[in-house]
Structure 1
Amino acid sequence: MDYEIFDLGDVTLQSGVTLPSAFLAYKTYGRLNEKKDNVIIYPTAFGDQHVQNEWLIGNGMALDPEKYFIIVPNLLGNGLSSSPSNTPPPFDRANFPRVTIYDNVQLQYRLVTEKFGIQKIALVLGWSMGGIQAFQWGASYPDMVERIAPIAGVAKTWPHTFVVMDGVSAPLMAVAHFDSSKLNQLTSADMRAVGRAYAGWGFSQAFYREELYRELGYDTVTDFVAGFWENIFMTMDPHNVLTMLWTGQFADISANPSYNGDFDKALRSIKALACIMPGSTDLFCTADDNEYEAKLIPNAVFSPIESIWGHFAGRGINSADNTFIVDNLKRLLALSTKG
């Protein structure tokens, strides 16, 4: 096991349901300095675990463990933190309670403060649903978070994004004949169609037109959809996927007692220096949505990744996009927050 567990005890979620013996799986890189001010929080995205974040961590990288103490908390529902696949009855599988982005960040706050005694965070960043968590950290703890860097992630699930995620979950609901009482019959084999449903959204039209899947080792679109997309999703537990999809569909940094649904107020309340990096051709966490958000955050820079790799421009698989992200993160970390 290359990660640690932080036991949270019985946790009352935003829904009002109490999840017994909840826990966060996390991994740390580097050392916490004496001042405890070299902290970077790097939450995971939908379907990812901490290992998928490691492409940005390393000597000479933006997230350099020689300089920073990097904490990667795993998303609830991802199979390592409390999830449908590892929670005993009565909250196992389809019976796992609804968890929000707000829930995730509140529990991450407990990890950071209770386990490590940290009161100041140099940077929170993340890709996709990790980016939503970065926004939420900035809105929930504006005096604690000095910088945020959402990558291909929006501050709320805009209507079109909701529809896309609904389409990704639909194959699993169809297997159960849209009867929630039959969801416990789902197996990993049912995930094959989910991969195909997502395949059209992860990359841009130009990515497919220019056959960039060849750079990933596939000769044809058919091979790519089967070898890349089906394989990614068939390694996931269907109930974990439905949990994470729900978390994503109902994400909104203002959907909590601090802001009572006032989205613009939540954005304006973020004090952190922000570098917001959408993929310029992202089809469902769009640059337009991020641009709206960036205009309301007082100290935000809007810096699109000019790329035809769509949503996956932020995933660490295309070297030009990676260089752009690393350079932006280094610039952001070099900026003084002492105003």
Structure 2
Amino acid sequence: MTLLDNVRAQHRLIHDHWQIDRLALIAGWSMGAMQGYQWATLYPDAVDALLAVCGSAKCWPLNQVFLSGIAAALQTDPLFQQGSYTRPPLKGLAAFGHCYAGWAYSAAFYRQHLYRQLNFSTREALLHYWEQDHQGRDANDLLCMLHSWQTANIADNAHFGGDFDAAMAAITARTVVMPCTTDSYFTLEEAEMECGLLARGEWRPLASPFGHCAGAPGRLPPAESAFICRAMADLLAA
């Protein structure tokens, strides 16, 4: 399953079933932003505006290495059985969540004990939450998600033949590129490189110590959400 598969399915639902020809705004966080880029590239005539929050048009090398690492942590559980498990590989799922948490936030987040703002009294309590949360997921579903993320590239299709610059240039939507300044997945530098390839790209980084999670809807203190909502309003008003 790829993000290209997802976006083509979404287009069939919106265009063929609901008969909606144009979208005023596509806004997405993380893999949602990656899908937004895919939408704007594949269907430029259908997308007026795009807000890409803490996401990118392709999965860059460091991001791929991170994903390989958490996948490896999951697969080391003997119960995983190369994906043919008969009961959940709970130790592997816990390791997956624990490793994930290390990248989800920033160095400042942990150094300044900002997890307390999320109602976790200690760092260990936060990590335990991430472990338990991922123990409730299906291991193969998580690996499928990682594959979709890791292989994401808006140019990886027959139309663009791997020409990333051409795929970015095909985006005609007004676009706000909004990385978090402390995101370890989708880095500030790589987001700025992508923004420079857009015909109508606006650089509007989200300054936050919450790392990748800064763009997560409704999870954090209101300042981050307000900043994202302002960008949505500006794009819709333009």
Q: Residue 49 of structure 2: which of 142, 147, 150 is its match?
A: 147
1:279 aligns to what?
180
Q: Residue 24 of structure 2: which of 102, 114, 122 is its match?
A: 122
Q: Work out the CA distance in 2 between the residues paired with 1:188 and 1:272.
A: 44
Whose relative contact order is higher, 1 or 2, with alpha carbons under 8 Å and at least 6 apart?
2
Look up the SS of the partner of 1:184 in the other structure: coil
Structure 2 unpaired stretches of 5+: none
The amino acid across from 2:182 in the alignment is T
CA contact (8 A) 1:154 1:285 kept: yes
Q: Residue 238 of structure 1: which of 139, 155, 167 is its match?
A: 139
Q: Work out the CA distance in 1 between the residues paired with 2:206 and 2:55.
A: 12
Is 2:118 aligned against 1:216?
A: yes
Is 2:6 aligned against 1:100?
A: no
Counting only pairs closer than 5 Å after superposition, residues 132-281 of structure 1 correspond to structure 2 as 132-176=34-78, 180=82, 182-185=83-86, 187=88, 189=90, 190-227=92-129, 229-281=130-182
Structure 1 unpaired stretches of 5+: 1-98
Q: Work out the CA distance in 1 between the residues paired with 2:205 and 2:79.
A: 40
- Which structure dedicates a bigger proportion of its chain to helix? 2
CA 1:121/1:161 → structure 2, altered by over 3 Å: closer, same or farther? same
CA contact (8 A) 1:176 1:185 kept: no
1:124 Cα offset (Å): 1.0
2:237 aligns to what?
334
Moved over 4 A (4+): 176-179
TM-score, normalised via structure 1 length:
0.67
Give % identity: 36
1:217 Cα offset (Å): 1.1
Look up the SS of the partner of 2:96 in the other structure: helix
Q: Work out the CA distance in 2 between the residues paired with 1:218 and 1:255.
A: 41
Counting only pairs closer than 5 Å after superposition, residues 77-96 of structure 1 correspond to structure 2 as none
CA RMSD in angstroms comes to: 1.5
Q: Work out the CA distance in 2 between the residues paired with 1:226 and 1:175.
A: 18
Q: Work out the CA distance in 1 between the residues paired with 2:113 and 2:46.
A: 44
Look up the SS of the partner of 2:175 in the other structure: strand
